[in-house]
Amino acid sequence: MSAPLRIAIAGLGTVGAATAQILRDNAAIIAARCGRSIEIVAASVRDPGKKRAVTLDGIRLEADALALVAPDVDVVVELIGGQEGIARALVERALDAGKHVVTANKALIAHHGAALAARAEQQQTTLAFEAAVAGGIPIIAAMRGGLAANRIQRVAGILNGTCNYILTTMERERRDFAEVLADAQKLGYAEAEPSFDIDGTDTAHKLAILASLAFGVAPDIAAVHCEGIRRLSLTDIDYAASFGYRIKLLGLATLEDGALLQRVHPCLVPIAAPLAAVDGAFNAVQVDGDAVGRVVIEGAGAGGAATASAVISDLMAIAREDRYAPFTLAASQLQTVPPAALAVHQGCYYLRLTVKDAPGALADIAHAFAAQHVSVHSITQRTTEADRGAQVIVITHATNEAAIAHAVQHIAALPISLAAPVVLRIEP
């Protein structure tokens, strides 16, 4: 058996501790599958005296994470998080020193992935980030390996467990967004400051990485159109169900006519579609390829053990001396393509309009859509007794985003309008 692969872990929080525990619990099977053992020789921690779920016997503890870039370390595992600061400095120093790097840091890869990949290639080392997208789901390995022969046509995914948990709980328990979010925070499913999750930022980081792998482009987080789930109500969930849909926060990427459209927003998904069945904190990624067709992978998208599983899969690939470019293509071959404007997106739409229950209201709404050449599939009016208003639910035929935006702007300005319209896209 070859010499052990010596690793250092920066950060022994939930994921770091789980990584250390799995490496010890499953040491024999990991060594058998790699042809060598994986040994933790060092770790960085902010509080060396803190009690942890995993024993640290035989592990050198460093207060300074940069000290992990040492002669007795082959791989630095970065589990600190954040796109800048110590996490970025550590990864850059490790790569420049010829060390392999494994990270779960989606923000770092989404913002600086191409530059870090170029650094790794220059030093002929590995930059691996399976754990940065969808937790324990091996989607990056699948796209870099099993799906590599395909021209990818579309990537879509439920990439944030917090949002999926909230939407599932709202639907199942008949509760409003604010109430479910508060409970999710108490249970640890959502952070005390939940914006990163519920406003779609976390999903956007992961989508930028998937789009890079799918379409051979440099990650471009700035080009991702991002909407969260704050405005969703139980009313929308109920109306969606009545039309045969469930609401999911999706990340979607398509390359059309040389332009890349990346978008994160709530969608109505047909109830029979695979992504509609993904509940709770689970994640799922759907990839459409020209040869393989549609592939859907579902699993635990977060949590210490699931994410640690992905971290260790990268370590095992390094131990086996597997060689691959971080984004499938060499960094110099990654294209910079123009972002597609959301206005050109074609699809069907769901709109919930709150208007005065007055004669001519529906006619005014219909005129606004007709003026933009938007064909309406169905229109339903339901009176709300509390404010003598009405909920008008509109499902359109396929149209473009710009037309919908103009129609909605016109409707919102009408005297009959009582609240800002809710607009959701329908995805096949």
pLDDT digits (tens, 9 = 90+) for 279-305: 999 999 999 999 999 999 999 988 889
Q: Cα separation of 244 and 246, whole Å? A: 7
Find out whether 326 and 218 touch, Cβ atoms under 8 Å.
Answer: no
DSSP string spanning 228-251? -STT--HHHHHHHHHTTEEEEEEE
Whether the per-residue pLDDT at 341 is higher than 80: the answer is yes
Find out whether 163 and 203 touch, Cβ atoms under 8 Å.
Answer: yes
- pLDDT classification of 388: cutoffs 50, 70, 90: low
For residue 185, which phi and psi values (nearest 5 degrees)?
Answer: -70, -40
Active-site residue, from 186, 206, 248, 356: 206
Find out whether 211 and 219 touch, Cβ atoms under 8 Å.
Answer: yes
DSSP bridge pairs for 239: none
CB burial readout 64-76, b (16+ within 10 A) else e: ebebbbbeebbbb
Is 206 annotated as catalytic?
Answer: yes
CB burial readout 354-382, b (16+ within 10 A) else e: bbbbeeebbebbeebbeebebebeebeee
Q: Indicate the pTM of the whole model.
A: 0.93
Domain annotation for the chain: domains and CATH numbers: 5-132 (3.40.50.720), 139-301+336-342 (3.30.360.10), 344-426 (3.30.70.260)
CB burial readout 123-136, b (16+ within 10 A) else e: bebbbbbbbbbbbb
Report residue 174 as tokens. Answer: 């008949």
pLDDT digits (tens, 9 = 90+) for 192-230: 899 999 999 999 999 999 999 999 999 999 999 999 999
With residue 56 as reference, give the H or E element that holds it: none
Gyration radius of the chain's alpha carbons: 24
